[in-house]
Structure 1
Amino acid sequence: MNTKILMTSSALFLAFIGILLSFLPNEMVEYLNVEPNIITTLFLKIMSALYLGFGILNWMAKGTLIGGIYNRPIAIGNLMHFGVGAIALVKIASKIQSHSEIVISLTAVYVIFAILFVYVFRTNPTKTQK
């Protein structure tokens, strides 16, 4: 599997969410009908930093071999993020009543990335010929 496509797409996805949370935290709070206060905004900005950090990590690692023993911390970190996120989203997807389209879309993306990172983690990489 060419991990460059996986790492690039996950980096762009994570950066997109990070930028949204960083620059539009008040709008996100309002859209999601959450009580706006300083703690909510602070948590969204901290989450933004996490998403942007993971996004830049994936972007910078996109050209390296990933899988098996190569860059194992990057593979397992992504697997944990997307795997745990997918489990949490799947548990909530059937129960949520408002903004279900957002939760179902995020669930699909997280499940796909989790499956792909399981595959990367479990297989040895092959170097592509240029």
Structure 2
Amino acid sequence: MNTKLLMSVSAVVLGVTGLCLSFFPEEISNHLGMTGASAILLQVLGALYFGFAILNWTAKANLIGGIYSKPVAVGNLAHFMIAALALIKLTVKDAGSLPYLWVATLIYVVFALLFGYVFFTSPALNNKPAKV
């Protein structure tokens, strides 16, 4: 599997989400009908997403999978798997939920499956002979 592509795409998705949550928490919380300290919680969540985006972007050139970059793979797997399960539970419980919730669930399920594959398989090494 091309882990460089996976790490880059996940970094972009998490980075955009993190920046939006960090810079527009009040607007997002108002749109979602949230009140109170939810804007601060969204801002903290945005910082978390942005931090994961930076981690994935800087680790994209590393060999990931098997024993290589295990903390990066297990961190991403845990994040995407736990969030995917929570989103599945929410969307199944409320079948008439908003369309963007279904989109978020689909994105999380896809990333959870891909990072699960990366975590539980050995990476293919590039066996091309070195150019002299």
TM-score bracket for the superposition, by shorter chain length: over 0.9
2:27 equivalent to 1:27? yes
Q: What is the TM-score of this pair, normalised by structure 1? A: 0.92
Give distance in 2, aligned partners of 1:97 and 1:33.
19
Computed over aligned residues only, the root mean square deviation of the Cα atoms, in angstroms, reads 1.5
Instruction: Decide which structure has the larger Cα Rg and report it.
Output: 2
Give, in whole Å, the separation in 1 of the partners of 2:74 and 2:13: 18
Match of 1:123 among 101, 121, 124: 121
| Deviation >6 Å, runs of 4+ | none
Aligned residues: 128
CA 1:98–1:40: 2 relative to 1, 3 Å:
farther
Which residue of structure 2 lines up, in the alignment, with residue 114 of structure 1?
A: 112
Residue of structure 1 in register with 2:38 after alignment: 40
1:33-60: CA deviation from partner (whole Å, max 9, x where unpaired): 111x3x2121111111100000000000
How far 1:96 moved relative to its partner?
3.3
What whole-Å deviation, never above 9, does each CA across 1:67-113 have from its counterpart, x for those lacking one?
00000000000000000000000000123377621110000000000
Task: Look up the match of 1:92.
Answer: 90
- How much does 1:16 deviate? 0.9
- Provide the residue aligned with 1:12 in structure 2: 12
Q: 1:24 to 1:99 in 2, by over 3 A?
A: farther
- SS of the equivalent of 1:94 reads helix
Other-structure match for 1:77: 75
Confirm or deny: 8 A CA contact 2:63 2:69 kept in the other structure: yes
Report the more deviating stretch, 95-104 or 71-80. Answer: 95-104
Shift of the 107–3 alpha-carbon distance from structure 1 to 2, 3 Å rule, reads: same
Structure 1, unaligned stretches of length 5 or more? Answer: none
The sequence identity of aligned pairs, in percent, is: 45
- Partner Cα distance (1:96, 1:19) in 2: 28
Structure 1 pair 20–98 and aligned structure 2 pair: CA distance change class (3 A) = farther
CA contact (8 A) 2:66 2:120 kept: yes
Normalised by the length of structure 2, the TM-score is 0.91
1:32·1:99 contact (CA, 8 Å) conserved in 2? Answer: no
Name the SS of the counterpart of 1:124 in structure 2. Answer: coil
8 Å CA contact retained: 1:3, 1:65: yes
